[in-house]
Amino acid sequence: MPDLEGKVALVAGATRGAGRGIARMLGEAGATVYCTGRSTAGSPSRIGRSETIEETAALVDVAGGRGIPVQTDHLSEGEVRSLFERVAREARQLDIVVNDIGGEDEAEWGALHEMDLERGFRFIDTAVRTHIITSRYAVPILREQRHGLIVEITDGDHPGFRGAFFYDLAKNQVIRAAYAMAMELKRRGVTVVALTPGFLHSEAMLENFGVTENNWTDAAPKAKGFSESETPCVVGRAVAALAADPRVHDKTGQVLASWGLAKEYGFTDIDGRRPDWIGFVERSCYELVREGGPYDAEDRFWLRAGHDMMKGNPRWNVLREQIEGVIEV
């Protein structure tokens, strides 16, 4: 297990999902974790979710770290400035910053000409602008220290299409933000990476399938790929492993994936599995190509998704060509 005893982390968007898993696993490694977000016991979620930052901080404590909940609207520059002033004053150091705010509740699927532009711009604000504001006030602390790790949570480690205009735009902007900061900060000893989880079975996903963390495998027959899904703790252990790696700066500017880091650092999910999302997609596409059709809508979805996920990696050129030979992509 990574040793982050004495390290201080801040997870923006720690209320639920990947952010909560990251905070927990940083706590498991012994870190002090500032858990930020808008949803508190006295100020419930505007999207009807029950999770709060106080609950996340308590989970950090149980895991072995120290959780500090701080209500923060990361779209408010003033609140974010005050947040980092507090961290600098109380902790006198900052080692890990995770930008996990995703805004998926505002995400809309479909073609651009069919979309509500105001909703799309709200999504960009929540999924991208929050990251920029947070990093703007985190970076001065890290630069002054001449060390630290910033992790930008995204969706996908590939240059392919992510299914919808604003969603694709947001997740790629986060990747470019990580790269731009990495270039600015590489001579100051600060590491910046983008990191994607695999198929994440978050609290909302489990509820959608009518299962809990204890019996989630019961939902596997309901959705292709669910058997290869991962808890938010996998991406959390990925962040902890990166933060504890003395050679992490070699990775600055890169786009990383939870399944790849699990193999590199040897960690597993909390149930002992080691999910391999891209491996599952690759196997599924090979099987579909080998079967040769006819393909229904779900088959075509997986073939197109695999074609996009494999873009940019020469290893999959042949498979991508085979997919192009059986369906229109």
**How do residues 289-326 score in pLDDT, each as one tens digit?**
999 889 999 999 999 999 999 988 888 999 999 999 99
The sheet carrying 66-71 orders its strands as 66-71, 32-37, 8-12, 96-99, 148-153, 190-196, 255-257
- Element of type H or E holding 70: strand 66-71
Which residues face 9 on adjacent strands? 33, 96
| Nearest by Cα to 262 from 235, 300, 297, 228 | 235
257: tokens are 């994936």
CATH of 8-275, one of 3.40.50.150, 3.40.50.720, 1.20.1250.20, 3.40.50.2300: 3.40.50.720
Which of 34, 137, 167, 179 is labelled catalytic?
Answer: 167
pLDDT tens for each residue of 99-113:
999 887 788 888 899
Q: What is the mean pLDDT of each run of 10 residues along the chain (329 residues)?
A: 95 96 98 94 72 95 98 97 98 98 84 93 96 98 97 94 93 97 97 96 86 88 89 97 98 98 97 94 94 90 92 90 89
Residue 45 pLDDT: 66
Q: How far apart are CA 13 and CA 22, in angstroms?
A: 10
Residue 202 pLDDT: 86
| Cα torsion angle, 61, 65, 70, 73, sign | negative
* Cβ–Cβ < 8 Å for 8, 95: yes
Chain region(s) in the chain for CATH 3.40.50.720: 8-275
Is 167 annotated as catalytic? yes
Task: Kindly calculate the radius of gyration of the chain based on its CA atoms and give it in whole angstroms.
Answer: 20
